[in-house]
Chain A
C-alpha cells in the first residue's frame, strides 16, 4: 500500500512519467497471455482430470481459480520489477524518499477489487458445490445436493487396512474390487467399522471421510472408462500407507455382466454377511455370536472379546 501511494503521488508531477500506465500495459499483456495458456494449454491437464462429473467439475474450478489468480500474481511481479528498475537507488542520491500519505483513490480501488474477488470466489464456490451434486465430497447421511433419477449404490466399508465394496442392488455382495459403470450416477455410502479412514477415489474426484457409525454419502457420474486409484487419506495406523487399491470404470454392459456373475460367485460369502445397513455397529457381533454368549465366554485372554473389550468410544 505504501508503495502504491509513493508510486501514484509523483505520477501527477509535471514531467514525471505515468507510472500507472507503464505498469498497467505489461501487466495486461502478460495476464492475457498467462490466462490463455492456463485455460487452453495447462487446464485440460490439471488434476484430477475429467473422468467423472465431479472430477471435471473440480478441474473446472481449478482452471477458473488459476485464471483469476494469475493476474494478481503477475501484478505483484510486474510492480516488483518496475519498482526495482525505476525507483532503485542511484549514485549520489542520498535524499530520503517523499513522505507517504494516504491515497483515497488507491485505497478505495484496493478494497473494492479485493471485495469483488472474495465475493466472487464465495459465490462461485457455493454454486460449484450445489450444481455438480456436492462436487464429489461426502455430504453426510442426509445429502442436500443429489442427482435426480436412479443411482447405483456402492457402499464403501473401510477397515484397517483395506476398503471393501458392497453392492446392495445386487444381493448385497461384498468384494475387494471397485467396479463402476460409465454413464451412470453412483451413490457412495462411505463408512468404517473401526477407526477413522478416508475414501479418496482420485480420478473420480470423490473424497469422503469414513467414520464408524456414520453413513457419508457422495455422488459422481463416471464419464470415461479407466483405472481408478483409491487411497485412504486419513492416518489410520501402522499400515495406513498400504491402504490403497485400484478400481475400474467399465461400460454399463460390462458392469452388469461383472455384477451379476460376482453376485452368483460370492453367494456363499454373502450369506455370512450381516443384512445390508448404512452403518454397522461392532457390538452386534456379540449378538450374532450367541453361541459364545451361551457358553459364557466373556473375556480375554484367548477367549472371546465382549463388546466392552475392545473398548468402544
Chain B
C-alpha cells in the first residue's frame, strides 16, 4: 500500500473512532428530553397562577423501552403531549397541577407516602373529591406518586378502579387521551402548590417501585430522566 493510501486509511480510521466517541457522548451522556416551558410570559414572584398538565401511562413512545411506565407533559402552547419529565415554572407562583392517571395500581412500598404533603391545604382532588391521604394497601388505588422532596411535596396518583382496570383494560397506546372514563379508565388528580422563590432545579420522582423487572423495582424508568423522574426548573 502506498504512503498516501496508508495515511488516508489512518485518517479515516481516526475519524471513525472520534465519530463513534462523539455519538456515544452526545446520544447517551448529553441527551436530555425536551423542557416544557410553563414560565414563558409569566412574571415571577407575583403569585401568578400557572397550570401544568401531565399524565402517567402504563407504556411510552420510546422504541427502546416501550413497556416502561412513564410520565408525559403537555406542551403549554400546542397542548400536544410530549414524552418528557422536564418542565420550567416561574418562581414565586401558584402552580395548579392536573395529572391524568392512566396506569394501573401498584402498592406503595412504604405506605407513608400515601400522605399528601406540600400542596396548598395538604390536599389533592381525585376526580373532584378531596383527599389528605390515600391508603394504597387497603385497596388497589394508587399507581404512582408525584413527589418533589426539595419542597416536601408528595402526592399519590390514584389509579383506575380494579373493575375498570380489568375491563375494558388500561389505555394501550401512549400518549393516552382523556375522554370517556368508561372506555379508557383513568383518574384525574388536581392539586396546587407554591413554587419556591429561590430559583433552581428541583428534582421530582415517583415513590412507587414501578420499575417492573428490575431489582427492588427501582431500576429502569425509576432511574431514567424522561420516564418516572425529572426536574422542575424554577426560573425568574
Chain A interfacial positions (CB closer than 8 Å to B): 157, 159-162, 164, 174, 176, 193-195, 212, 237-239, 242, 266, 268-269, 271-274, 280, 282, 285-286, 288-289, 291-292, 295-297, 300-305, 309-313
Known contacts: A161-B205, A193-B109. The answer to whether A297 contacts B218 by CB under 8 A is: no
B137 at interface by CB-CB < 8 Å? yes
Stretch touching chain A among B5-13, B42-50, B162-170: B162-170
CB <8 Å contact, A194 and B103: no
Q: Give the complex CA separation of A45 and B211 in angstroms.
A: 46
Sample (14) of A-B pairs whose CB atoms are under 8 Å apart: A157-B110, A272-B136, A273-B112, A280-B110, A285-B107, A285-B108, A286-B107, A288-B138, A289-B140, A297-B104, A303-B170, A310-B217, A311-B216, A312-B216
CB <8 Å contact, A238 and B149: no
B121-142 interface with A by 8 A CB criterion? 132-133, 135-140
Q: Give the complex CA separation of A269 and B132 in angstroms.
A: 9
Q: Which of B112, B136, B203, B215 contacts A174 (CB 8 A)?
A: B112
**Distance in Å: Cβ of B31 to nearest Cβ of chain A:** 15
Q: How many A-B residue pairs have CB under 8 A?
A: 144
Q: Which of A194, A242, A272, A304 contacts B111 (CB 8 A)?
A: A272
Q: A195-B215, A303-B105 are in contact. List 13 more A-B contacts (CB 8 A).
A: A164-B110, A174-B112, A194-B209, A237-B218, A242-B203, A272-B135, A272-B136, A296-B166, A301-B58, A302-B69, A303-B170, A305-B212, A312-B215
* Cβ contacts under 8 Å, B219 to chain A: 310
B229 at interface by CB-CB < 8 Å? yes
Q: Give the complex CA separation of A27 and B67 in angstroms.
A: 70
Nearest 3 Cβ contacts at the A-B interface = A302-B58, A310-B217, A300-B212
CB <8 Å contact, B59 and A195: no
**Distance in Å: Cβ of B63 to nearest Cβ of chain A:** 15
B195-219 interface with A by 8 A CB criterion? 203, 205, 207, 209-219
